[in-house]
Amino acid sequence: MTAARGLLPLASILLALLLVQGCAALDPFAPPEQRIERALETGNYQHALELIDENDPEPRARWAERRAAIEDEAATAAAEAMHEARAASAEGAVAQALEILETAEAQLPPDSERREFISQLERQRQVGLQTLQQRHDILEARALVQRLRLLEVMRPLVRHSERLPDDPDRLANRREPLARALDGYAAGTDGEERLELLHLAQGLASDSERAERIARLERELRQAEAPEIEEEVPRSTINARLRQALEAGELSTAARWCRNEITPDTDASGPDQAAQRAHRALCEEWRERRDARAETLLEEGRSHYSAGDIEEALRHWEEGLELAPDHAGLLSAHERALRVVERLESLRVPEPLPEAEADSPPDDVPQAEPDAP
């Protein structure tokens, strides 16, 4: 008797659960026809067709016709899903299009066109995300360089780092990850775009290996932009032009004949061989004079810099870099001077207008004539 009383509450609980769940637990025991209709009500045509194949409900002839009707409905639903997905994709809503197709893939019979479209959209999404991530990282890197420079200028002006608008150490932690990301992006590009990314990465985190890649790429780009020396031009003519430029002190003009030297002809003999030797000697003279001129410009620039004339120092160093773009001393001095100029510009306070000028009306405003006596 006691056991029977204990079973009554348990039965009541089970009955309540069944009622709350809408008798969902009885689904496996429902007649096949009922389960098929429920699958159709939820739009799961594939499951309905599978139930027909598994249970073979009676009468077979009627269910054969029903199956054909379900297949037609499934084909219509598949066409509608493809139409909606293509419309969403055309508007750029790739994720929405994929959601539509994945739902169709789960509820409709297999379709090769739909699966191909899903693969296409997945590739499109991946490429889009990678492109946008690259743009985001480049924008973040540029902003980070500017913010760190600004904080560097502001740091000497505050007594405590808490007064700074941001934590320099926290920002600096992003240097290395962003620089590595930019290196990866640069590897997938070439030319000026690659050079820009490498320079940006170098500005974030200096690296000797990256500096060598930058210098090598800059040389390649300069050679690509340099006028090509036609093989038809006799070496004697080239040497004459080179000698004339050296005698006139036009080292930049002479550079075109030595930075883009003609490949030596190993089979040359007689006058041609002599012309090759002369060309090498002239280019060696050009390099010596170029290096000497670069050193002179470096020292002259330092003198102007020490005297406080930063603009004149920059002019000398930029002239030197035109001759010797890879000169380490010129590069370092030029970069340091640019930072000083940038710092001075950020600290400059606009001068107020003179009182008389501030009070006077603009020239285009007519002034009243004084009253006649």
pLDDT tens digit string along 76-130?
Answer: 989 999 999 999 988 888 899 999 999 988 888 888 999 999 999 999 889 888 8
The residues, ordered by sequence, that sit 6+ positions from 82 with a Cβ below 8 Å of its Cβ are 101, 104, 113, 114, 117
Task: Name the CA radius of gyration of the chain, rounded.
Answer: 40
Residue 158: the pLDDT is: 82
Residue 364: the pLDDT is: 45
Q: Is residue 327 part of a domain?
A: yes
Residue 356: the pLDDT is: 45
Residue 83: the pLDDT is: 93
The larger pLDDT score, comparing residue 364 to residue 254, is at 254
Q: Is residue 373 part of a domain?
A: no
CA 45 to chain centre: 45
- Is residue 152 classed exposed, middle or buried when 0-12, 13-18 and 19+ CB atoms within 10 A define those classes? middle
Q: Is residue 309 part of a domain?
A: yes
Residue 339 sits in the same domain as residue 239: yes
Number of structural domains (the chain) is: 3
Residue 208 sits in the same domain as residue 257: no
Taking the C-alpha atoms of residue 225 and residue 101, their distance in angstroms, rounded to an integer, is 51
Confidence (pTM): 0.48
Q: Tell me which of 100-104, 106-110, 152-156, 177-181 is least confident.
A: 152-156
Residue 136: the pLDDT is: 93
Taking the C-alpha atoms of residue 159 and residue 156, their distance in angstroms, rounded to an integer, is 8
- Contacts of 31-35 spanning 24+ positions with Cβ under 8 A: 32/57, 33/57
- Is residue 147 classed exposed, middle or buried when 0-12, 13-18 and 19+ CB atoms within 10 A define those classes? middle
Please work out, in degrees rounded to the nearest 5, the angle formed at the alpha carbon of residue 135 by the alpha carbons of 130 and 136: 95
What is the DSSP code (8-state) at residue 162?
Answer: G
Q: What is the pLDDT of residues 306-365, one digit of tens each?
A: 888 888 888 988 888 888 888 888 888 888 888 887 777 666 555 554 554 444 444 444
Residue 24: the pLDDT is: 39
Mean pLDDT, residues 241-270 taken together: 71
Q: Is residue 350 part of a domain?
A: no
The larger pLDDT score, comparing residue 370 to residue 59, is at 59
Residue 203 sits in the same domain as residue 144: yes
Contact 133, 184 (CB under 8 A): no
Contact 150, 184 (CB under 8 A): no
Q: Is residue 7 part of a domain?
A: no
Other CB atoms within a 10 A radius of the CB of residue 7 amount to 9
**Predicted confidence (pLDDT) at residue 7 exceeds the cutoff of 70:** no
Taking the C-alpha atoms of residue 197 and residue 134, their distance in angstroms, rounded to an integer, is 11
Backbone angles phi, psi at 51, to 5 degrees: -65, -40
CA 317 to chain centre: 32
Q: What is the pLDDT of residues 11-49, one digit of tens each?
A: 455 444 444 444 433 355 677 778 878 888 888 888 888
Residue 53: the pLDDT is: 76
Residue 326 token pair:
């890879």
3-state SS assignment for residue 160: coil
Q: Is residue 365 part of a domain?
A: no
Mean pLDDT of the chain: 78
Mean pLDDT, residues 171-198 taken together: 90
Residue 144 sits in the same domain as residue 103: no
Taking the C-alpha atoms of residue 225 and residue 270, their distance in angstroms, rounded to an integer, is 33
Nearest by Cα to 318 from 292, 338, 343, 339: 338
Q: What is the pLDDT of residues 117-131, one digit of tens each?
A: 999 999 988 988 888
- Is residue 179 classed exposed, middle or buried when 0-12, 13-18 and 19+ CB atoms within 10 A define those classes? buried
Q: Is residue 14 part of a domain?
A: no
Q: Band of the pLDDT at 184, cuts 50, 70, 90? A: very high
Q: What is the CATH number of the domain that holds 246?
A: 1.25.40
Q: Note the helical H segments in the chain.
A: 2-20, 32-41, 45-55, 60-90, 94-107, 112-154, 168-172, 175-187, 191-204, 208-225, 235-247, 251-258, 271-306, 310-323, 328-347, 355-359
Share of the chain above pLDDT 90, in %: 15
Q: Is residue 121 part of a domain?
A: no
Residue 147 sits in the same domain as residue 218: yes
Q: How many CA atoms lie within 13 A of 161 on its CB side?
A: 7
Q: Residue 217's domain spans which residues?
A: 130-225
Residue 282 sits in the same domain as residue 307: yes
